[in-house]
Amino acid sequence: MKKYLFVLIVFLGTIAGVGESQPPNIIFIMADDLGYGDLGCYGQTLIKTPNIDRLAAQGIRFTQAYAGSTVCAPSRGILMTGLHNGHAPVRDNVPHYHTYLRDRDVTLAEVLKKAGYRCGGIGKWSLGDPGTEGRATNQGFDGWLGYLNQDHAHYYYPEYLDEGEGRRELPGNSKSKEHYSHNLMTEWALRFIRESHAQPFFLYAAYTIPHYASSTEDRTQFPVVSDAPYGDRDWTQVEKNYAAMITLLDTDVGRMVELTRELKIDKKTLIIFTSDNGPWSGAPMDRFHCSGPLRGHKRTLYEGGIRVPFIAHWPGVIPANRMSHEVIAFWDMLPTLAEIAGAQVPEDIDGLSIWKAFKGQPLDQTHPYLYWDYGHCRARYDQAVRLGAWKGIRHGRDHEIQLYNLDSDVQEKNNVAGQYPAIVKNMAEIMRTAAVPNERYPVGKIYQGQPIWKPTWTQE
């Protein structure tokens, strides 16, 4: 049985002065492998993202927001369950399991649904294949269009998409390239907003852009319908396509925002935009500096792999043109959105409500530490801890801990472990105890298996 800690929250007290009698709609938009430096509001100068930049200008932009993990599946599982990387039911992309979530797991969608929300989702789920207990429609979502399996999500011109409890068939699409999956999912999301706007709704838009595609689908690895508005640039085709992907995502974020205004629900809709982890190392990093000022990328535990853009927007409630340096993480989203919705919070989660930070206020309570790990089923098991301004990283259990002061060294260039042995010792103890052992993730076992999902159609 799923257990809940009953939390009584008087909504009007939570958002004093708004004057609404029902909780807000929530649109949570998450890009896939979008780097900290890929948006204009985070320093990008070549890729156009005017709509997302406008969200930041009209809301609050976080500079120290952290994904749940450095790769896709665990980051999404952490977002959904409020448990950090050492406790979550999914902690790595491999081995691939048919389901990561079980009936006993409590998700963000289930929490909001119990509070009266209609819940819909698009994009990459990664937490349970069709027919399993971990599928999205068994974990609180009333509707879904996209990819339940993360490997299926590597195809932008698939032969089908998972829709609800069934499929939307797209026969021949891998060859004809008639249907670009991102566009189909955006249309579904817009329709969901229109159909749901008379009641509180939760839309989880877990887009696949700008994740690379299967190498057999498109030689550029970032397939797009059009490389506009970058077709005339003196760039490689990979660079043009990568930029076009991000600008297309930005355009569709703008369409969602505009629809909330058209339906006159913009002032009772919270919109969050973020990314699931840092940029892929094969992205055009040299041209766009996708990680911004940060070291590292996806699959590393340096800041570039786990620090992500994070914007919150709610006219009249979240102050405009604010920047927050509060340290927040994906496992904070479940309790935060539950508080905003006046919902019940599951027992024994790791997240804290950061609702005050959304309003530009200092937090009363912060985490004693933040924890990540990666490589449970690989030759090397990495761990990272953030403790105040200090960041500790260890590449392999038998290796020494690297120590960085992020206040003075956000690029993690100067390892000062030798100067602060007491802090290193504290880090080592956290690394020893933060992860509760799980039989699915044996440390140090080299993963030699194959993905369980394979396309059933022929790729040229």
Mapping DSSP onto H, E and C, the string for the chain reads: CCCEECCCCCHHHHCCCCCCCCCCEEEEEEECCCCCCCCHHHCCCCCCCHHHHHHHHCCEEEEEEECCCCCHHHHHHHHHHCCCCCCCCCCCCCCCCCECCCCCCCCHHHHHHHCCCEEEEEEECCCECCCCCCCHHHCCCCEEEEECCCCHHHCCCCCEEEECCEEEECCCHHHHCCCCHHHHHHHHHHHHHHHHCCCCEEEEEECCCCCCCCCCCCCCCCCCCCCCCCCCCCCCHHHHHHHHHHHHHHHHHHHHHHHHHHCCCHHHEEEEEEECCCCCCCCCHHHHCCCCCCCCCCCCCCHHHHEEEEEEECCCCCCCCEEEEEEEEHHHHHHHHHHHHCCCEECCCCCCCCHHHHCCCCCCCCCCCEEEEECCCCCCCEEEEEECCEEEEEECCCCCEEEEECCCCCCCCCCCHHHCHHHHHHHHHHHHHCCCCCCCCCCCCCCCCCCCCCCCCCCC
pLDDT (tens, 9 = 90+) of the chain, 460 residues, equals: 444 443 333 343 444 333 356 899 999 999 999 999 999 999 999 999 999 999 999 999 999 999 999 999 999 999 999 999 999 999 999 888 999 999 999 999 999 999 999 999 999 999 999 999 999 999 999 999 999 999 999 999 999 999 999 999 999 999 999 999 999 999 999 999 999 999 999 999 999 999 999 866 565 789 999 999 999 999 999 999 999 999 999 999 999 999 999 999 999 999 999 999 999 999 999 999 999 999 999 999 999 999 999 999 999 999 999 999 999 999 999 999 999 999 999 999 999 999 999 999 999 999 999 999 999 888 899 999 999 999 999 999 899 999 999 999 999 999 999 999 999 999 999 999 999 988 888 776 777 777 778 888 754 3
Q: What is the pLDDT of residue 21?
A: 63
Any domain includes 128 = yes
For β-strands 307-313 and 60-66, DSSP reports them as: antiparallel
Q: What sign for the dihedral angle of Cα 125, 359, 412, 403?
A: negative
pLDDT at 219: 57
Output the pLDDT for position 214: 81
Angle 181-196/237-262 helices, nearest 10 degrees? 10
- How distant, in Å, are the alpha carbons of 62, 84, 211, 353 from that of 74? 22, 9, 16, 20
Is 179 domain-assigned? yes
The predicted pLDDT at position 295 comes to: 98
Q: Has residue 81 been placed in a domain?
A: yes
pLDDT at 285: 97
- Which residue range is the domain that position 94 belongs to? 23-369
Q: How many domains does the chain have?
A: 1
Give just the sign of the alpha carbon dihedral 33, 37, 41, 47.
negative
Q: For position 335, which CATH number holds?
A: 3.40.720.10
User: Is residue 434, in this structure, part of any structural domain at all?
Assistant: no
Q: Is residue 388 part of a domain?
A: no
Q: Give domain status of residue 424, yes or no.
A: no
**Which has the closest alpha carbon to 34: 256, 316, 250?**
250
CB 246 within 8 Å of CB 53: no
pLDDT value of position 2: 43
What is the structure's pLDDT at 457? 79
For residue 395, being part of any structural domain is answered with no
Residue 155 within any structural domain of the chain: yes
Instruction: Identify the burial level of 315 via C-beta atoms within 10 angstroms of its C-beta, where 0-12 means exposed, 13-18 middle and 19 or more buried.
Output: middle
